[in-house]
Amino acid sequence: MYGGRQLGKTALLRALERRFRNVQQGRLAVFVDLKRELFSRGRGIDALWSVLVARFQEAGVLTESKVGATAGQEALFRHVKEWLAASPDRRLLLLLDEADTFLGEDGKETDHHEPFPRCQRLKGLMEDTDRRFKVIFAGLHNVQRTTRSANHPLAHFGEAICIGPMLEEAEFRTTLRTGASPRSALPSQRPNCRLSMKSSQTVLPTALDRPNRCTLPVPGAPSPGLHPLLPQDVQDPLADETRPN
């Protein structure tokens, strides 16, 4: 899953986490911000496994008596398989946000291993569990470029999904249900929905969330609800010289 900054990728992952998680039915979802948990703290890329141990313990997949905080990747995967094998209904969804740096580092070839060794292990766990364990990477457009690499082990699991601005309500709900949105449903491919925002993407919410300063006239539209947003609806408020910077 890829897209520009401030377009809702993290919010979508969090929504998927809430929708998928159902303890009674054996479905668990674990969200990890790779940038915050690894690189912002100066931790190496292989610290991923200890981070997953902690997150899986919090989710109830692992117990401290079986898997310690310093457990390696092999012990971690073995206990994940055991947890899934305990019931045919169990599922585990791993959501890895801010994955650009992780994928860039993992894609480096060294004298000791081929590119993407850690992704290869995650792919192996998906295959060994018949995809009852599944991982989703989210990040900027580097994620899309990474999946196009011939050496990337996850490329054949599906096409990279672009998260664009201003998804309509029905499209957002479809994305939550399936974890994917067809390209034909993206607003950027609909003639009356495309807006040339360039670097102003993060400005628009500020400009439009003040009903006392700007209005969005939608003749004949029911209220409340979500309504089509036309280019002039955005251009007029942004051109208002009385609006504070």
Residue 171 belongs to some domain of the structure: no
Number of domains within the chain: 2
Residue 43 belongs to some domain of the structure: yes
Q: How far apart are the first and last CA of the chain?
A: 33
Give the chain's residues under pLDDT 70.
Answer: 65, 68-70, 150, 155-158, 165-229, 231-245
Residue 25 belongs to some domain of the structure: yes
Looking at the structure, tell me whether residues 209 and 157 fall in a common domain.
no
Looking at the structure, tell me whether residues 41 and 134 fall in a common domain.
yes
Looking at the structure, tell me whether residues 64 and 131 fall in a common domain.
yes
Looking at the structure, tell me whether residues 30 and 119 fall in a common domain.
yes
For the beta carbon of residue 98, count every other beta carbon within 10 angstroms. 22
The range of the structural domain enclosing residue 209 comes to: 195-238
Looking at the structure, tell me whether residues 132 and 214 fall in a common domain.
no
Looking at the structure, tell me whether residues 224 and 152 fall in a common domain.
no
The model carries a pTM of 0.66
| Pairing status of strand 91-97 against strand 133-137 | parallel
Residue 180 belongs to some domain of the structure: no
Looking at the structure, tell me whether residues 82 and 155 fall in a common domain.
yes
Looking at the structure, tell me whether residues 208 and 119 fall in a common domain.
no
Residue 187 belongs to some domain of the structure: no
Q: Distance (Å, rounded) from C-alpha 138 to C-alpha 205?
A: 23
pLDDT at 127: 92
Beta strand ranges found along the chain (DSSP E): 27-33, 91-97, 133-137
Looking at the structure, tell me whether residues 109 and 225 fall in a common domain.
no
Looking at the structure, tell me whether residues 16 and 88 fall in a common domain.
yes
Last residue of a domain, one of 141, 163, 185: 163
pLDDT at 159: 74
Residue 134 belongs to some domain of the structure: yes
Residue 53 belongs to some domain of the structure: yes
What lies within 8 Å, CB to CB, of 95 at 6+ separation is: 13, 16, 17, 29, 30, 31, 32, 135, 136, 138
pLDDT at 152: 76
pLDDT at 170: 66
Last residue of a domain, one of 114, 147, 163: 163
Q: Residues 14-36: pLDDT tens digits? A: 999 999 999 999 999 999 999 99
Looking at the structure, tell me whether residues 35 and 143 fall in a common domain.
yes
Looking at the structure, tell me whether residues 99 and 208 fall in a common domain.
no
What lies within 8 Å, CB to CB, of 221 at 6+ separation is: 227, 228
pLDDT at 186: 39
pLDDT at 130: 94
Residue 2 belongs to some domain of the structure: no
At 160, the amino acid letter reads A
